[in-house]
């Protein structure tokens, strides 16, 4: 019975180390995303060097901006699809077509 519990404890420690390693890798990916992203303020939210209050303010500003964009885009799409489109067209076949005269001038002085 002790062998199983020792194996379980060592297995749990290895799992914790693996989990911590994955968390660090994920955190590094978030920092990389924040540093290369062109979303204004995202680097200030993800970067751990700023004060937590300042990061929350930036997070709120970015969230509000995204919500306003989604609202504005949906309003404009509904407005665009609101009006029905009626088209009326008639096909008229001409019996004779008048083609323009085309003159091609060779600008080559050696010919």
Task: Give the domain range for residue 29.
Answer: 2-80
Task: Say if 28 falls within a structural domain.
Answer: yes
Q: What is the pLDDT of residues 41-92, one digit of tens each?
A: 776 777 766 677 877 888 888 889 989 999 999 999 999 888 878 888 888 8
Average pLDDT, the chain: 75
- 25 in a structural domain: yes
Considering the domain boundaries, does residue 74 fall inside one? yes
Residue 6 inside a domain? The answer is: yes
Structure tokens at 84: 């029905």
Higher pLDDT, 33 or 73: 73
Residue at 40 is within a domain = yes
**How many Cβ atoms are within 10 Å of 105's Cβ, its own excluded?**
5
Q: Where does 9-58 show beta strands of DSSP type E?
A: none
Distance of CA 106 to the CA centre of its chain: 53
CA distance between the termini of the chain: 104
């Amino acid at each position: 019975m002790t062998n199983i519990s020792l194996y379980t404890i060592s297995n749990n420690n290895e799992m914790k180390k693996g989990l911590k390693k994955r968390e660090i890798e994920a955190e590094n990916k978030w920092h990389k995303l924040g540093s290369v992203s062109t979303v204004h303020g995202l680097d200030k939210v993800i970067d751990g060097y700023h004060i937590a209050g300042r990061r929350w303010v930036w997070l709120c500003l970015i969230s509000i901006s995204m919500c306003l964009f989604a609202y504005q885009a949906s309003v404009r799409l509904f407005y665009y699809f609101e009006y029905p489109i009626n088209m009326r067209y008639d096909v008229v076949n001409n019996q004779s077509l008048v083609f323009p005269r085309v003159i091609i001038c060779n600008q080559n002085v050696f010919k």
